[in-house]
Structure 1
């Protein structure tokens, strides 16, 4: 989708929370012209520039959907390189499995008004076709399905023993519901000291918190994000 007005409108809500708070938006190169690992490399380049001016403990990273994937892969890369982690992270309906192997793809296919179809269940055959020609293929190209489980592509298969305090949002009706739930469970399992909060909003769609005027649940989620930012950037 790129850096649309949705993200500027969302960011404006956070800019005046504190006098010394800055919001940095990553305008990464878009698929399918640019595929993995272009966007992850660009995110790491921005991170390295940011920490020249700001301490990691004064930075919160975040993203939604594919941007949530990018943010999570960035955090895992930072940990792998033994660099200091950001203070906290916010993930909104992140794509964490580009192999689409989680059960909610099938279970919520008829509920998901953005990516599913209410008229018929998702068949195994159509699921395989979606993997080859759907949105996911824009980012990974013709990469074999098993190779898509590389943690830098699908962070759900990565290591969470070192991970910052995190806040997750996801809608209960999303095909990507398990992309969030499996990661949250893995963080809790692998990191006994982890501080992780997950808000599963009943009946909500993919990335519901970013739509500033859509529903009351979106406004509630944004108020939660504001308080989370203030709690962690004191």
Structure 2
């Protein structure tokens, strides 16, 4: 729990931009706060050690830096693409390395982590375009591989947007998606932003909405995954804690997708906060979630 308390303290100190500030004109003082918060966020990746048995290799795909976990297992014909969270503004390879080594070990599969560009220096749609380019390249190079997409928080929203981009380009969709605590509604309009606030020590509506404005250059509707409409969608597993403001993002998206895709699944994890695997990889609920994800993605 120590890292959660550190996160709360940083949020209390970190007062972000006003709602009328455009991403292109973020003040120097705010950019310094962002850089400081990025440095802090990176330290959360050291809460537990990585699995030393998992190999990690840096690569560049279509001009986008990425990292292979268990690249030697590519001959198994499975690729899991991972899109990290961090409200489109924070997070990097060092932040997520430990968690992804444990996922790669548990799944016994290759994982590709994409180091997409961050806001506000690179607002929407830069990250979306980079992720799409990597996905397109994977489809071309690994034609006979089964590709799954995982994402947490903002990475969940990016995964949803990737499906729309793939459909527009007439590319094959991923075999399935697994989204952990996905942030899908950039308008922050779902009820749980209010009803779950007292239970959530990590996120709050103001923090999320200010970053949505920054990411979208004050045009949230254009960048908002919840505004996307689908007639078809791959099997998707939505995992969320009972104690987080993003609870309804997962719940409402499931309600929307379930009539379209009968293999959709939604599961709440009792008492869990935002992306609980990131904080405690070996907790009972994290072990359960990893088992659930593995069963889902390898059955679709």
Bin for the TM-score computed over the shorter chain: 0.7 to 0.9
- Alignment correspondent of 1:201: 269
Q: Paired residue for 2:48?
A: none
Determine which of 151, 161, 164 is the counterpart of 1:73. Answer: 161
In the alignment of these two chains, the number of paired residues is 211
Shift of residue 157, structure 1, vs aligned partner: 2.3
Aligned to 2:129, the other structure's residue is in SS state helix
CA offsets 1:56-96 (integer angstroms, 9 cap, x no match): 76100111011111111101211233321111111111111
Moved over 6 A (4+): none
SS at match of 2:178: strand
**CA 1:87/1:180 → structure 2, altered by over 3 Å: closer, same or farther?**
same
- Pick 1 or 2: higher relative contact order, CA cutoff 8 A, min separation 6: 1
The answer to whether the Cα contact below 8 Å between 1:15 and 1:23 also exists between their aligned partners in 2 is yes
1:39 is aligned to 2:127: yes
Equivalent in the alignment of 1:140: 216
Q: Distance in 2 between matches of 1:202 and 1:195?
A: 23
Partner of 1:165: 235
| Structure 2 CA distance for partners of 1:50 and 1:39, relative to 1, 3 Å | same
Distance 2:107 2:179 in 1: 21
> Is contact 1:79-1:162 (8 Å) kept?
no
Are 2:136 and 1:48 equivalent residues in the alignment?
yes
Q: Is the 8 A contact 2:124 2:215 kept in 1?
A: yes
- 2:123–2:217: 8 Å Cα contact kept in structure 1? yes
**Distance between the aligned counterparts of 2:288 and 2:242, measured in 1?**
16
Distance 2:208 2:100 in 1: 32
1:103 maps to 2:191: yes
Higher strand share: 2
1:13 Cα deviation after fit: 2.8
Report how far residue 26 of structure 1 moved.
Answer: 0.5
Residue segments in structure 1 that go unaligned for 5+ positions in a row:
117-126
What 5-or-longer segments of structure 2 have no aligned partner? Answer: 1-89
Distance 2:281 2:180 in 1: 17
2:245 maps to what in 1? 175
Offset at 1:52?
1.4
Residue in structure 2 matched with residue 2 of structure 1 by the alignment: 91
SS at match of 1:186: helix
After superposition, the CA RMSD in angstroms is 2.3
CA distance in 1, matches of 2:207, 2:91: 22
The answer as to 2:23 corresponding to 1:23 is: no
2:110 alignment partner, SS class: coil
Q: Which moved more, 1:84-93 or 1:72-81?
A: 72-81
Q: How does 1:53-64 map to 2 (within 5 A)?
A: 53-55=141-143, 58-64=146-152
Counterparts of 1:59 and 1:169, CA distance in 2:
19
**Equivalent pair of 2:99/2:277 in contact (CA under 8 Å):** no
CA contact (8 A) 2:178 2:238 kept: yes
TM-score (normalizing by structure 1): 0.81
Displacement of 1:137 in angstroms is: 2.7
